[in-house]
Structure 1
């Protein structure tokens, strides 16, 4: 096992990622409407949120967010896995974090990225 894994998981635990996503997409509502390239979908608040990846990205040039952390979540969970590609029940969300663990932005998308 890589030494980075426990450090990244301690820095950005699954429960924090899920809590942040709930607060961003659902706020206090029982369902949220997500506008995807393929159309709008409604997702209940009590749906499964499955964290599928976490990463740290270090950029040598000051582009975009600079250096940041990212966590990708399958909204509704993973319904199937085929040839190393995961397919969500609803869609994916990627949350981008700064070094203070504040969410910079969130991207919602139909495919795994």
Structure 2
């Protein structure tokens, strides 16, 4: 988790808002080096509660939870987070093998979901 936070912090300025932090998490999930050891927090049922608390405490600022906006835009922000979570999980498991161009295209879709929408 320390390494994840270092990587995430290297992607944004210290004063970054929730949207910039979410974008950093999305990029991290799609581009950083991952392996099954990144899934350690899921491996021991006896530690699940404590590891879950640590996970939420340290990584929640990167998940877009602080972003307040209209319901449609909020749904897009949450969808971007879920895409990133899925990419992180599948890449750590080694269950996906996208070409670089496919991964870049999916990343672009996820990042697009984090953009502000015009209010009408």
TM over 0.5: no
Classify the TM-score, shorter chain.
under 0.3
More helix by share: 2
Q: TM-score, normalised by structure 1?
A: 0.24
Q: Which structure has more RCO (C-alpha within 8 Å, separation ≥ 6)?
A: 2
Q: TM-score, normalised by structure 2?
A: 0.23
More strand by share: 1
